[in-house]
Structure 1
Amino acid sequence: MRKIIVLEHVSLDGVIQAPGGPDEDNSGGFAYGGWVAPYSDEILGTLLSRQMNMPFDLLLGRKTYEIWAPYWPKHADVWPGVNKATKYVTSNTLTSGEWKPSVLLSEDIVEKITRVKQQQGPDLHVWGSSDLIQTLMKYDLIDVFWLMIYPVTLGSGKRLFAGGTIPAAFKVTESTVTPNGVIVVNYERAGEIETGSF
């Protein structure tokens, strides 16, 4: 069975919107697009490259797909695997996926994602896709969060943990703090919440 791995640039206050550039996603009047750029360093670059060079397919929401589809085919030298990966796109409005190979998942999306997850193949990486992530969390389909947590608060914007968040336990399997203060951490799903008292 494949794992669903959510990989996100996230601010201290949980925002994941438009980390890559000013014009990436300014919906809702978001004014801080490109907020990760000042924190780039060699260690973060190495960790990102490692993730980007693993075997993977992509599971993307429509908005992220529409942002990425015109960009990545022109930048294959940066991330060669992204164009070869099968892109599973959740949307009830798209009628075709021009960025090949793409598979559109519409209607009964949770059931279709569950079936894709049960197939043989590489793990499914989710980048961006804030609405899709809420659905994946709600139905407990996420196996791993690979997060890059930046030392900045943004105040508003699309958040990682929002309406789909359920009570769930995780364990840290790897962590690094970069010279510019980005905490890169791998959280694997670890069952139910346990409680106790001191």
Structure 2
Amino acid sequence: MKLTATMFMTLDGVVQGPGHAPGGQPEDPSDGFELGGWTEPYGDEESRQLTVEEFSHADAFLFGRRTYEIFSGYWPHVADPDDALAARLNSSPKHIASRSPQTLEWAGALPLKGDLVEAVQTLKEQPGDELQVHGSGVLLRSLWDAGLVDEWRLRIFPVVLGSGRQLFGPGRLPGRLRLVDSRTTPSGITALRYARE
């Protein structure tokens, strides 16, 4: 399977807390981050349809612990059979990378065991179209350094925050990417697809 990574990002590279968790609380207020929910004014139908199309290629998902907790608090409760995102998420295997043991109650959720790089490489060798990572910035930083991400799907929002965790911050190994596709939605989101060089 091809490993693809989708990340929402501000113009200044921040990926922390793009939306709200169930109940309206910020997704990730860790380290005193108070600017969560910065994607919400920009949702539009073109962006949603792009996400639906990308999800249609997922044969499995890979999440870090924090993103798993956010997703599992919402998506298993979406019962609408016409919701393509919920249908794909709820019916597909979900592999969870976490250093701390936890109870995985979402149907199809499986803990990733052993060495992260070896475990993800084994998943990539399984038959199928795509192994998708959504969010999970800590996990993606490790996957970048290991050279395991085949395609990056970055949604750049016209927002500058000035604080918050960045995806490609200090300490990342250098690397090159090749632009595969670029489009801009009516609300100003730039959707970029990059392949690994």
TM-score (norm 2): 0.89
Aligned equivalent of 1:32: 35
1:5 aligns with 2:4: yes
CA distance in 2, matches of 1:114, 1:26: 32
Aligned equivalent of 2:54: 51
Question: Are the counterparts in 2 of residues 8 and 148 from structure 1 also a CA contact under 8 Å?
Answer: yes
CA distance in 1, matches of 2:101, 2:170: 24
Question: Are the counterparts in 2 of residues 134 and 161 from structure 1 also a CA contact under 8 Å?
Answer: yes
| 1:94, distance to aligned residue in structure 2 (A) | 2.2
Unaligned runs of 5+ in 2: none
Question: Are the counterparts in 2 of residues 136 and 164 from structure 1 also a CA contact under 8 Å?
Answer: no
| 1:106, distance to aligned residue in structure 2 (A) | 3.5
SS in 2 for 1:162: coil
Aligned equivalent of 1:162: 169
Aligned equivalent of 1:149: 156
Q: How does 1:74-113 map to 2 (within 5 A)?
A: 74-77=77-80, 78=83, 79=85, 80-113=87-120
| 1:183, distance to aligned residue in structure 2 (A) | 0.6
Question: Are the counterparts in 1 of residues 13 and 167 from structure 2 also a CA contact under 8 Å?
Answer: yes
Unaligned runs of 5+ in 1: 191-198
| 1:28, distance to aligned residue in structure 2 (A) | 1.1
Question: Are the counterparts in 1 of residues 60 and 131 from structure 2 also a CA contact under 8 Å?
Answer: yes
CA distance in 2, matches of 1:169, 1:132: 19
Q: What whole-Å deviation, never above 9, does each CA across 1:39-81 have from its counterpart, x for those lacking one?
A: 1222212212212233331111111111111211112533210
1:125 aligns with 2:132: yes
Larger deviation, residues 80-89 vs 42-51: 42-51
Question: Are the counterparts in 1 of residues 158 and 189 from structure 2 also a CA contact under 8 Å?
Answer: yes
CA distance in 2, matches of 1:172, 1:116: 25
Change (3 A) 1:126 1:164: farther
SS in 1 for 2:58: coil
Aligned equivalent of 1:193: none
Letter in 2 for 1:146: R
Question: Are the counterparts in 2 of residues 175 and 183 from structure 1 also a CA contact under 8 Å?
Answer: yes
| 1:116, distance to aligned residue in structure 2 (A) | 1.1
Letter in 2 for 1:24: E
Question: Are the counterparts in 1 of residues 16 and 28 from structure 2 also a CA contact under 8 Å?
Answer: yes
CA distance in 2, matches of 1:169, 1:133: 16
Q: What whole-Å deviation, never above 9, does each CA across 1:127-151 have from its counterpart, x for those lacking one?
A: 1111101110111111110111011
Aligned equivalent of 1:195: none
User: Paired residues, what number?
Assistant: 189
